[in-house]
Every structure is written in C-alpha cells, then in structure tokens.
C-alpha cells in the first residue's frame, strides 16, 4: 500500500484543501548521498512513529491528521521598539 494511503486510512480520509508540505508534522532531514552530495528529504513525523522512517512527497494531499504549522513569533525591529513609523 502507498504510504500516504496508509495515513488516509488511519486518519479517516484526505484533507483535500492542504498538502503535506503545509503540515506541522512534516520535517526535512539533511543527509548525504553515497557520493557525498548534500541531500534533503522530507518525512512525516506521525508516519515515522507508526511505521518507521520513509521518504515523503511534500506535494501529497494532506491526511486528516493535518495540523497547521506553528508560525515563529515576529521579531520586533528596533525602529518599531522605539515607536517609529515608516
Ligand atoms: S498531512 Fe501531515 S500528518 Fe498527514 S501525512 Fe501529511 S505530513 Fe503526515
């Protein structure tokens, strides 16, 4: 069975409005190929916990375990801190 199909079955379906790349459960691993080239691969944290590590296609349609990614809090600039306007 395709890996994403496993997640659709587990979660109860596809969240067709989103893709895995928008999900907070996806992460990027940086490794090296056997020729020493730098390589980045995506993985689903939930799938990894359930079945073990697997390469993930970030363009797949999200499953129902989709979770919004946490946004980093916006850092205030010095100009905003001293009350300036631009
Ligand atoms: S939507 Fe999130 S939890 Fe579901 S398969 Fe994609 S990355 Fe994993």
Give residues with Cβ within 8 angstroms of 9, minimum separation 6. 1
Could you read off the pLDDT of 13-45 as tens digits, one per residue?
999 999 999 999 999 988 888 888 998 899 999
Verify whether ligand 1 is closer than 6 Å to residue 42 (CB atom): no
49 CA to centre of ligand 1 in angstroms: 12
Please give the pLDDT value at position 78: 66
Could you read off the pLDDT of 48-65 as tens digits, one per residue?
999 999 999 999 999 999
Verify whether ligand 1 is closer than 6 Å to residue 25 (CB atom): yes
Please give the pLDDT value at position 51: 93
What's the rounded Cα separation, in Å, for the pair 11 and 5? 10
Please give the pLDDT value at position 30: 87
* Length of the chain (residues): 86
Please give the pLDDT value at position 61: 97
Contact 44, 60 (CB under 8 A): no
């Amino acid at each position: 069975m395709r890996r994403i199909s496993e997640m659709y079955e587990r979660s109860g379906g596809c969240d067709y409005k989103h893709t895995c790349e928008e999900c907070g459960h996806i992460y990027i691993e940086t490794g090296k190929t056997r020729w020493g080239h730098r390589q980045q691969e995506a993985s689903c944290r939930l799938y990894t916990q359930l079945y073990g590590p697997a390469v993930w296609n970030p363009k797949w349609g999200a499953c129902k375990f989709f979770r919004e990614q946490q946004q980093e809090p916006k850092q205030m600039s010095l100009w905003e801190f001293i009350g300036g306007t631009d």
